Structure 1
Amino acid sequence: MFVVSLNYKVPLTEIDRLQAAHVEWLKACYAEGIFVASGPKRPRTGGIIIAQCARDVLDARLAADPFAKADAADYDVTEFTARMTTAALDPIRES
C-alpha cells in the first residue's frame, strides 16, 4: 500500500485550470481499484492519495495525472504495510 503526497509547484489558478481533468483521472484510478482514498491537503498546498497496487502500476498512473503532465505537482510516494485497520477497512488490511 502507498501514501502519495502531492505538492503543488504552480499557483492555485493553474491547479484550478487542471482540476476537472485531474478529478476524471482520479475517478478512472478508483474504477480500476487502485486508489483507496484521496483528498486535498489543508491548507491547499497539494493532496494525499492512498493507493493499493504494484509500485510500477502506481508510477504509471501518477505519470498520467494531468498535474504531472503539466509539471504542476511533485509526488512523494511512501510504501507501508497496513497491518491494523478499523473494521470498515478490513478488506485492505495486509498480513
Structure 2
Amino acid sequence: MFVLELTYTAPVDKVDAALADHVTWLDQLYEAGVVLASGRKQPRDGGIIIAVAEDRAAAEALTATDPFVTAGVCEYRITEFLATKTAPALAAYRQQLPG
C-alpha cells in the first residue's frame, strides 16, 4: 500500500485550473479499486492519497498520470507501507510481513 503525498509547486489558482481533471482522474482510480481515500492537506498546500499498487514502480507510473503532474502544479512523495492491520471494511487490503 502507498501513501501518495502531493505538494503544490504552483499558486493555488493554477492548481484550481487543473482541479476538475484531477478529480476525474481520482474518480477513475476509485472505480478501478486503486485509490482507497484521498483529500486536501490542511493548510491547503497539497493532498494525500491512499492507494494500492503492485510495487513502487507502478505507484510512480500512476502519479505520473495525475493531471496535476502533467500541468506542472505538484510533485509527489511516495511512501510504501505494509498495511498489516486495517479497519474491518479494509480487510481485503491487509498485507503480510515478508517471511
Structure 1 length-normalised TM: 0.93
| Residue 64 of structure 1, CA deviation | 1.0
**Residue of structure 2 in register with 1:63 after alignment:** 64
**Residue of structure 1 in register with 2:26 after alignment:** 26
| Residue 58 of structure 1, CA deviation | 2.0
What residue ranges of structure 1 are gaps of 5+ in the alignment? Answer: none
| Residue 29 of structure 1, CA deviation | 1.2
| Residue 91 of structure 1, CA deviation | 1.7
5 Å matches for 1:1-95?
1-54=1-54, 55-95=56-96
Structure 2 length-normalised TM: 0.90
Does the CA-based 8 Å contact 1:29-1:61 persist in structure 2? no
Q: Kindly, what percent of the aligned residue pairs are identical? A: 44
